[in-house]
Amino acid sequence: MKPKTARKKPVILITNDDGITAPGIQNLVEAVKDLGKIVVVAPDKPQSGMGHAITIGNPLRLHPVQLFKDIEAWQCTGTPVDCVKLAVDKVLHRKPDLCLSGINHGSNHSINVIYSGTMSAAVEAAIESIPSVGLSLMDYSLEADFSASRKYARIIVEHLLQNRIDKHLILNVNIPALPDTLIKGLRICRQAYAKYEEDFVERNDPTGRKYYWLTGRFVNFDKGKDTDVWALEHNYVSVVPVQFDLTNYVLKTKLEKTWKL
C-alpha cells in the first residue's frame, strides 16, 4: 500500500527555441529527467529571436517524436510561445508544475531576454501561472560542452521543487562557457542595460537589388556590479528574476503628477 503522504512526481514541461533536435534540449532533459515526469513540446525548427511571437493567421501542427528515451515528446510547427500554449491545452490537459526552456545555444542575458524565444517561452508559462526557468549557455556551437549547465540546471530545479515558489516565478539563467571547476557559483542579478548596436550589412542580389543582414556589436552601458553581464564576466552563473508586468511605475507616478489630464 502506498503511504498516503507519497507525493506525486511533479510534471515538468520542457521546451526551447533552437528546435527539438538541438543538443541543448537533449542535455536539459538528461539533467533533470529523474526529478519529475518530463514532457517535451518544442519547435520543429530553429526559432531564435522569435521573442513573444504567437501564430495567429495560420494553424499549428503537433507531431509525436521519439527523440528522448522513455519520454513523451512532441514537435510543433509554431513558435516557442505556441509550444507552451499547445502543451498545456492539448498535450498535458493541465498546467505542469514547472516549465523549463533551453538549454539555449548562446547567451540570453541583458536585453536579450526580450528577443529570446527561449525566455519568451518561460515568460508565457509564468503568465499561465506555471513557474518557469529559461537556461542559456554562452556558447553558440553545436558541440558546446553542457556539463556545467546540466549541473546548475539540476541545482536550480531541485531547489524550486523543494521550496514553495510563486506561480509567476520566472528565472533567466545564463551559464558561462567554462568548465565547472572555473565557475564560482550562482548569483542573483538584475538585467543589465546592455544591448546590440545595430549595423546592417548591405548587399546586392544577382539582379542588383539591395538586401540587408542584421548584425550588431554588443555594448554594455551598465557599470553596475549587480547585473547579469557583470556576473557572467566574473565567472558566475547569472540568475535574473523576470516579470511580465511591464508597467514603468516610476514614470507612472511622474506622469500622474506632471501631466495635466
The β-bridge partners of 227 are: 190
29 vs 104, beta carbon nearer a second copy: 104
DSSP-assigned letter for residue 180: G
> How far apart, in Å, are the Cα atoms of 260 and each of 22, 248, 254, 256, 257?
54, 19, 11, 8, 8
For the CB of residue 1, give the shortest distance to a second copy in the complex, in Å: 36
- Residue 79, classified by CB atoms within 10 Å of its CB into exposed (0-12), middle (13-18) or buried (19+), is buried
Rule CB under 8 A: is residue 90 a binding residue for a second copy?
Answer: yes
Interface residue with a second copy, options 88, 99, 103, 161 (CB under 8 A): 88
The rounded distance, in Å, linking the Cα atoms of 133 and 104 is 12
Show the binding pattern over residues 198-227: x = contacts a second copy (CB under 8 A), - = does not.
xxx-xx-----xxxxxx-------------
Show the binding pattern over residues 103-122: x = contacts a second copy (CB under 8 A), - = does not.
--------x-xxx----x--
The rounded distance, in Å, linking the Cα atoms of 64 and 79 is 17
For the CB of residue 69, give the shortest distance to a second copy in the complex, in Å: 26
Rule CB under 8 A: is residue 235 a binding residue for a second copy?
Answer: no
Rule CB under 8 A: is residue 179 a binding residue for a second copy?
Answer: no
52 vs 150, beta carbon nearer a second copy: 52
Supply 232's cell numbers.
Answer: 557572467
For the CB of residue 48, give the shortest distance to a second copy in the complex, in Å: 6
In DSSP notation, 10-47 reads PEEEEE-SS-TTSHHHHHHHHHHGGGSEEEEEEESS--
Interface residue with a second copy, options 82, 133, 137, 229 (CB under 8 A): 82
For the CB of residue 146, give the shortest distance to a second copy in the complex, in Å: 21
Chain positions 122 to 151 lying near a second copy, rule: CB under 8 A, are: 123, 127-128
Helix (H) or strand (E) holding 114: helix 112-115
> Segment near a second copy (CB under 8 A), from 92-100, 143-151, 173-181, 248-256?
248-256
Half-sphere exposure (Cβ direction) of 179: Cα atoms closer than 13 Å: 2
For the CB of residue 151, give the shortest distance to a second copy in the complex, in Å: 14
Interface residue with a second copy, options 140, 180, 185, 235 (CB under 8 A): 185
Rule CB under 8 A: is residue 259 a binding residue for a second copy?
Answer: yes
Rule CB under 8 A: is residue 70 a binding residue for a second copy?
Answer: no
* CA 135 remoteness from chain centre: 5
Instruction: Give how many residues touch a second copy by CB under 8 A.
Output: 73
Rule CB under 8 A: is residue 18 a binding residue for a second copy?
Answer: no
Q: What is the distance between the terminal CA atoms of the chain, rounded to a whole angstrom?
A: 68
Phi and psi, residue 3, nearest 5° = -60, 145
Chain positions 22 to 51 lying near a second copy, rule: CB under 8 A, are: 46, 48-51
